[in-house]
Structures are given as C-alpha cells and as structure tokens.
Amino acid sequence: MKAGIVGATGLVGREMLSVIEQRNLPADEIKLFASKASTGRTLDFRGSALPVEIIKKSSVEKGMILLGATSSQVAREWVPMALEAGATVIDNSSAYRMDPGVPLVVPQVNPEAAGQDDRLIANPNCSTIQLVMALAPLMEVAPISWAAVSTYQSVSGAGSRGIGQLQAEEKSGPSYGGFHRNVVCEIGEPEHDGYTFEERKLVHETAKILSSSFPVYPSCARVPVMVGHTESVTVSFTRPVPCRVAAEALAGFPGVVVKERGFQPLGTPGTDSTFVGRVRNHPMDPCIVQFWVTADNVRKGAALNAVEIMEMLLKS
C-alpha cells in the first residue's frame, strides 16, 4: 500500500501519521504533503525522517490512498487533481461531506455507505462523529422523535491556532471574546437564521450518516479546554425507554465506553473511545433520555476515523 497525508504538518495531519504508525498499517510508502511554507520540513515515522513536499499531480500514483487534513478551500483544489491521478481520497474537510455522491462515513456506524468503487470518502465533523456514535445504538432501542445537543468544544477544534491563542491568553490574562476563562457561545458567524455553519454540520451530517429523518437541535460553544469535545444530549423516543436499557445499548456498541461518574473531557486526550456518562431519564417524561458524550476531537473526531476508513478499504 502507498499512502499520503495532505496537510501533514497540521494538528490533524500529524495525528494521522501517529495513528498510522501506532496501528501498524502495512504502508510500503507514505508521502507527506503540505503548503509551500512547510517545504523542507521532515516528520518522524517508524524511525525515519520523511520529507514534506507540495502536492502535484505527478507526485500522486494510481491506487494511492490519500488522507486529507486541509481546509475546505484547499481541498477543493487538490482533491480533484488527486482523483484524476487515480488516487483514493479520504477527506477531513467539509468540502464534500454533503455531496450526495460522496459517502460520509463513521466505520462503526455506517461502513456500508462506502462501496468498492467510491474513490472519495468524506470524514465527518468531529462533533458529529461522537454524536452519531451515541445515537446509532439508541436507534436500535426505539424510534427517535428528535435529539437536542449542546456542544462544549475545545480550542483544538480551531487547530494549532486555537491552541496557541489559549496558551497566549493564559499568560496575558482573559480578554473579551477570547478563550481563556470564557465560554464563546458561537463557533463561526451566525447566518441569516441565527445558526452557525458548525451547528448546521450537526443537523445535516447526522441525518446523512444515520439515514434518519428526526430533527437535531444543536447549540455549539467553544470552551477553554485544549483537547476533548463534550456534548450534552437529550433524546426523545416515541415510547418510554428506561435509562438502564439505553445505557446497556450504549455500552454494547463498539467504541463506546459508559462511565456514570468522574466524567470529564480531560480524561479523553490520546484515547480512541467515545465516552458516555450520566445516562438518565427525565423525571417527568420516561420517553426522554439525557446523557453526556465526550471524545478526543483531534484523534477520534478526525485522525482516527480517517485511518479506520482506510483500514476498512484495505479489508474490502
């Protein structure tokens, strides 16, 4: 297998390389691509220093699997070129997620969405991945009427820039609109209806992955945590569902760990699991189940999911 990472020097790109090494994928060759500013850099992989280069059509080989960790704007430039050269692309940007011809995949949830002929597969948003990891097993318990989610997203969701900003603010002190000692109740600019693009991702990506028609009501905020997104989720079922039954379904789902106490995002960095905690019924409505979800947004919410898609393709 020949593979490559586009955006290799960024936060997610470096984590992709680390996950490939840790999971011992059988890669004969890995190429690293980044912007012109990173030309000349090297990254360690299996004891060797791999050079970073600018992606060109001539550097992409037919049959190569490329993992994308770039912005949507950049992805729209290099992905068509890579596909034309014969590569298979697993793209982490939002550029192609809602394209009806592009599978949007979480391997534990909808592996069947990616066929053998699909050469472009989209990686969902980090907050969407951990949400559908919790909703998928609950859909097997009873039909869902609606789901509401409030996200408390770490600054690493904004990449290395977000981490750097929080670190600088921790030294200089809090400022209006900053991350330190603050909860920023919008991620991105609200659109005409008041919803941000980050919130729209949760609405539309969840429906596409789960092939569901129930509405999702999202609210997204940024919190002063380095790594680890947390979500407060409320699910309304069409019939009463005891919280014990919901917790058992969640605990039996691959990749989900149920923890009733001691539940916090600071325990997630570097882990592969999606953690669910405080599963409970609403005291006045047995059709309502509420819980918290948290995961490492850089790893589980981006790099690991992309690598697991790669593993899935190699097994097919």
CATH (domain of 163): 3.30.360.10
Q: How does pLDDT run across 32-45, given as a tens digit for each residue?
A: 999 988 988 999 99
What is the structure's pLDDT at 28? 80
Same domain, yes or no: 225 and 257: yes
Check if the beta carbon of residue 293 is closer than 8 Å to that of residue 230.
yes
120 against 176, higher pLDDT: 120
Same domain, yes or no: 52 and 199: no
For the cut 90, the answer to whether the pLDDT of residue 229 exceeds it is yes
Same domain, yes or no: 100 and 190: no
Please report which confidence band the pLDDT of residue 198 belongs to, taking 50, 70 and 90 as the band edges: very high
What is the structure's pLDDT at 269? 87
pTM of the model: 0.95
Same domain, yes or no: 155 and 270: yes
Same domain, yes or no: 248 and 156: yes
Q: How does pLDDT run across 265-314, given as a tens digit for each residue?
A: 777 889 999 999 999 999 999 999 999 999 999 999 999 999 999 999 98
For the cut 90, the answer to whether the pLDDT of residue 176 exceeds it is no
229 against 261, higher pLDDT: 229
- 289/279 Cα distance (integer angstroms): 7
Please report which confidence band the pLDDT of residue 264 belongs to, taking 50, 70 and 90 as the band edges: confident
Same domain, yes or no: 174 and 140: yes
Same domain, yes or no: 154 and 120: no
Long-range CB contacts (within 8 A, 24+) of 18-27: 18/303, 19/299, 19/303, 19/304, 19/307, 20/45, 20/307, 21/45, 21/46, 23/307, 23/311, 25/1, 25/307, 25/310, 25/311, 25/314, 26/1, 26/314, 27/1, 27/2, 27/3
What is the structure's pLDDT at 260? 80
For the chain, give the mean pLDDT: 95
Give the CATH number for residue 63: 3.40.50.720
Same domain, yes or no: 143 and 46: no
> How many domains does the chain contain in total?
2
State which residues form the domain around 27. Answer: 2-124+302-315
Query: Annotated catalytic sites, by residue?
Result: 126, 229
Same domain, yes or no: 13 and 33: yes
* pLDDT, average across residues 139-143: 98
Same domain, yes or no: 115 and 161: no
Q: How does pLDDT run across 85-136, given as a tens digit for each residue?
A: 999 999 999 999 999 999 999 999 999 999 889 999 999 999 999 999 999 9
* pLDDT, average across residues 206-216: 97
Same domain, yes or no: 74 and 142: no
What is the structure's pLDDT at 54? 95
- 29/63 Cα distance (integer angstroms): 12
What is the structure's pLDDT at 116? 82
- How does DSSP assign 22-66, residue by residue? HTT---SEEEEE--GGGTT-EEEETTEEEEEE---GGG--TT-EE
Same domain, yes or no: 66 and 208: no
137 against 26, higher pLDDT: 137
What is the structure's pLDDT at 191? 94
For the cut 80, the answer to whether the pLDDT of residue 150 exceeds it is yes
